[in-house]
Amino acid sequence: MKKVLYPGTFDPVTFGHIDIIKRASELFDAVHVIVAINPSKKPLFTVEERVDLLKECLKEFSKVTVDSFDGLVVDFAHKVGATGIIRGLRAVSDFEYEFQMALMNRKLADDITTVFLMPHEKYTYLNSSIVRNLASFHSDVADFVPLNVKQALENKYVNN
């Protein structure tokens, strides 16, 4: 049973994240999506909201579970018996940070391997912060996020 973690901020989940999750679930037996509790990032959505949005749009994926976590990803991996960490690579600009994280995680836990997946090229320009920005200007984000996320964004920005 090959279980992998897909950690991230998911503020909010986009079609880019979902593309990666779909690819991971075709490769592994179980994909555990974990939302980082990282107050220093001052997220728009609370951890509970981000988990609920992910659960709602991933309910068709039988191999995927969603949780939140605080602390080190490698500790969480040991706790749940995962042997890999999935990360998405969109462009060269992602590489340096992701490479550093992957090597640090390997230094911390050599039994956990980071695997990079590339989304469909139509998602390479997409990230959560662009989506938040567009939504804050009441621009339509239907091409970038599932309907439940679009509605949640509209609710956040309804009065401003």
Residues near ligand ADP (CB under 6 A): 8-10, 14, 16-17, 20, 87-88, 90, 94, 119, 123, 126-128
Q: Which of 85, 71, 83 is nearest to 115 (CA)?
A: 85
Task: Provide, rounded to whole angstroms, the least separation between the CB of residue 157 and ligand ADP.
Answer: 19
Residue 82 · residue 113 · CB < 8 Å: no
Q: What secondary structure letter does DSSP report for 41? A: G
Task: Provide, rounded to whole angstroms, the least separation between the CB of residue 138 and ligand ADP.
Answer: 22
Distance (Å, whole) CA 149 – CA 133: 14
**Which of the residues 32, 50, 87, 90 is marked catalytic?**
90
For residue 128, indicate whether it is catalytic.
yes
Nearer to ligand ADP, 90 or 150 (CB): 90
Task: Provide, rounded to whole angstroms, the least separation between the CB of residue 126 and ligand ADP.
Answer: 4
Spell out the residues 6+ positions from residue 30 whose beta carbon is closer than 8 angstroms to its own: 1, 2, 3, 4, 63, 64, 65
For residue 50, indicate whether it is catalytic.
no
Nearer to ligand ADP, 25 or 127 (CB): 127
Give catalytic residues, as residue numbers.
17, 41, 90, 128
